[in-house]
Each structure stands twice: as structure tokens, then as C-alpha cells.
Amino acid sequence: MTVTEPGTEPVTERVTLAAGASDAEIIAAVEAWLRAHLPEDWQAAVARGDLAAVEAIREDPERGPAWFDLLGDSGLATPTWPVEHGGLGLPADRGAVVTETLARYRAERHNRDFVGLVLAGHTILEWGSPEQKAERLPALRRGREFWCQLFSEPGAGSDLAGLSTRAVQQADGTWLVNGQKVWNSYAHLADFGLLMARTDPSAPKHRGITYFLLDMRTPGVEPRPLKQMTGNAEFNETFLTDVVVPDSARIGPVNQGWSVAITTLMQERNGLSGRPAVGPGEADELVARAVGNGSWEDPVLRDRLLEAYVEEKVLQMTTVRSFVASGDAAPTAEGSIRKLAHSVLAEKLGVLGTDLEADGAVAWDPAEGSEAADRFLAMKTYSIAGGTSEIQRNIIAERVLGLPKDPDPERHLPFNERGRG
């Protein structure tokens, strides 16, 4: 069965998989499809383990998009999406088997598509109008549009609902947006942004926010790259100056953007805590590295590695359990538990990775680089992005253990009457 949506001619038939299919059946079906559709030189490069050659095809401006069109129309890129929107309608744990099988052929979507594929995708599926679904979902499925998130602001980090970017509705129904956003990964490359803006400053802070799907090419949208502590510049700060946004870009009701954002944030927490499977992970890589360079012989280092190995396996088991328990990726406070555990683990692994190196990864040959140093510098991403570990602990304490909510004297005050600290 194929679905025709405006502006898309399917380039392949949709794959059919039963919701109750076993792991083996799903793997067999996906592999059969890949053998029939994945370019031969790609398959050959995978077979001989030549990841650089695969990467070259994936990043090729012609061949990469052609592959992701095909993958998108097959439904395999979005296995958990409903069938009517081009997905396969699989439960989360079945969908994960599809994605893992694709990953073994390096045929899965780019990591940088996470904001589009997962965050925008699920937010639009849940809250989008029929027009928004028809316009955005096909391109998301195919990876033809690149997305970023415009949530945080210089004055609204952990207290995200305290954001002050304004959107004022004009006489013609359009919205005039002014403000500044920050920590916007890939905003300088993005086609669309998930934007939250204040539309009713006289309402308490959670009740005066509206959510928009912003076309990043609109005049007045100006992303400026921010260099991160890693030395890379994936981040941006984004200035919004007299940006005119049509009302058709609004997703969800006016002033109910916070509810829409919860959908996005829950997906983000879930997405950051790993795939639901028990198998080789980062600790296994470090063990292999330690055995290879001899540091495994140090009994103290060995036990630290094994401790991290145990934690990673137990986190994987917990992720499997939460998928089985909820029957779907249904993100709840459970996601906060896994995100917190993952953040703690990521730091352990980041430090351990440098400890395994004879020189502590403090200096390296410029031609070779240092993966251990790269990971060390990136490890703090996990305990901050998507809500800091402190915020996750509050969520767990309040929603899982039933402890009192953190005092927030401004919570019920009209936004424009709260004190500015």
C-alpha cells in the first residue's frame, strides 16, 4: 500500500510488517528489503567494514538524499509512525528492531536528523493540523527538511516556561515575533525551527505561550554560531527581529504551547536515554581499547571498567523494561530516570576513556586526533541538554515519589508581574 501526499510521488512501495512480528521476522524482512534496494557499492563497503566509503555515499549530495527518499517512502525510517502518515504503525520495541537492523548496514537516518525525525515528527503527529501533517510529515520522513529547536533563551534555561520572546498577533492574523533564543543546535543549517513564544504576558507563565513551526528562511531570523567547549560550533544563538509568522504555522491552540512542548520534551528525554536493546555499548568499546593497549592489566582500572560495563547493561535492561511496560515509547517520568542514569554513566565513561590512555589523552598527534579527548569534552552534553540532571531529579522526586513540588513563587503570577532577578 502506498500513500500519496501532496508533492510526493512515492519512489518505492511501503514495506509491510505485522505489529506482532518477532525480532527474527523483522530482521529478515528489513534485510531482504535492504539487499534489494541498498546500492551495491554500499552493501559491499559494509561487508568489508569500510565505514569511510559508506559515509562518503551517505554524505554525497545526490546519492544520500536519493537513499533517504527511498528509505522514507518504504516506511522504514519512521517505523512507529501511523500507517496513514507513511509509517509502519509498529510499537516502539518493534520499531527499535527495524532501526537497529538499518544501523547494521549504516542505512539509518543521520543522528543530526533527531530534532526533525523524532521531536518535530512526534509533535506534529500529536498536535499538527491536517494541513501541517500533509505539508511537513512527508519531508520529515524522507529527511528532506532539516529542523532545529528554538526553546531556551538567555533568561530561560531550566525555567523554560519563563521565556520572554514575544509573538504579537497582527490585524491580518499573522504573528510578529521578537526575541532571542540560545543553544539551538544546527539552527544555521535548519529549514524549520520548533519555536515557543509568549503570546499572553498577563497570564501565568505556563499559560501564555504559543508554539510555532517557524520557517527559518523568514526575514528577521538570524542564527549566529556559538562555539562550544568541545571547540565545535553546532550550537547557535538565534535572534528574531520583527519576524512575521503566518497563523498557519501555529501548532496547537493559542496560549497552550506549553502542553505541546511537553510532547517535545518527553521525546527528547526518551531519545537521549538510548535504544531499547541489551547489547554491545560504549563500555564494551572501552574494554576492547583497554585490552588492546594493555591498561586492562591494571586491576583498579579493570574494576572501574567493569563497573561502567555493569551500569551500561543495567541501563539497557531498564530501557527494554520501560518499553515493554508501556507498550510504546510512552514517555513519562520513567524517561527522566533513564536520562539521569545515562548522564551519570556518560561522565564515568568519558573520564575512564581518558584514563585508559597512557598519556591521559592530554596531547595527541594533530593528524590522528584523540577520540578519548573528544568524548571527554562531549560528556557533559548529557547531564545538561534536554533538562539538567537537577531538573530530572526534581521530576523523579515529584512524579515518582510524590514529594512536594519545588517552590516557584512566580508560577501563578501573571508573567508581566513577576520580579526580574
* Least distance CB 383 / other proteins (angstroms): 13
* 31-51 per-residue burial string, b: 16 or more CB within 10 A, e: under 16: eebbeebbeeebeebbeeeee
Q: Is 25 known to be catalytic?
A: no
| Nearer Cβ to other proteins (213/277) | 277
Query: Rg of the Cα trace of the chain?
Result: 23
All three cell numbers of 77, joined, read 525510517
Instruction: Measure the CA angle with vertex 280, ends 17 and 323; round to 5°.
Output: 45
Site string for other proteins, 158-197 (x = CB under 8 A): ----------------------------------------
Site for other proteins in 320-379 (CB under 8 A): 320-321, 324-325, 334, 337, 340-341
Site string for other proteins, 294-313 (x = CB under 8 A): --xx-xx-xx--xx-xxx-x
Instruction: Tell me if 78 sits within 8 A of 315, measured CB to CB.
Output: no
- Read off the amino acid at residue 219: P
Site string for other proteins, 382-421 (x = CB under 8 A): --------x-xxx-xxx-xxxxxxxx--------------
| Nearer Cβ to other proteins (44/288) | 288
| Nearer Cβ to other proteins (6/299) | 299
**Distance, CA of 336 to CA of 382 (rounded, Å):** 12
Number of residues that bind other proteins (CB under 8 A): 43
Instruction: Tell me if 209 sits within 8 A of 415, measured CB to CB.
Output: no
| Nearer Cβ to other proteins (22/232) | 22
Q: Is 275 in the site for other proteins (CB under 8 A)?
A: no
For 124, residues 6+ apart whose C-beta sits below 8 A from its C-beta are 132, 133, 136, 137, 140, 213, 251
| Nearer Cβ to other proteins (317/362) | 317
* Least distance CB 338 / other proteins (angstroms): 8
Q: If we measure between CA atoms, which residue out of 107, 99, 134 comes closest to residue 45?
A: 107
Q: If we measure between CA atoms, which residue out of 218, 248, 36, 272 comes closest to residue 134?
A: 248
| Nearer Cβ to other proteins (91/414) | 91
Please choose, out of 11-19, 128-136, 239-247, 284-292, the segment that lies near other proteins by the rule CB under 8 A: 284-292
**Distance, CA of 120 to CA of 264 (rounded, Å):** 7
Please choose, out of 114-122, 141-149, 210-218, 290-298, the segment that lies near other proteins by the rule CB under 8 A: 290-298
Q: Is 71 in the site for other proteins (CB under 8 A)?
A: no
197: three-class secondary structure by DSSP? strand
Q: Which of 268, 311, 312, 357 is catalytic?
A: 268
Phi, psi of 382 (to 5 degrees): -70, -30
Residues taking part in catalysis: 268
Would you tell me which residues interact with other proteins (CB under 8 A)? 278, 284, 287, 291, 296-297, 299-300, 302-303, 306-307, 309-311, 313-315, 317-318, 320-321, 324-325, 334, 337, 340-341, 390, 392-394, 396-398, 400-407
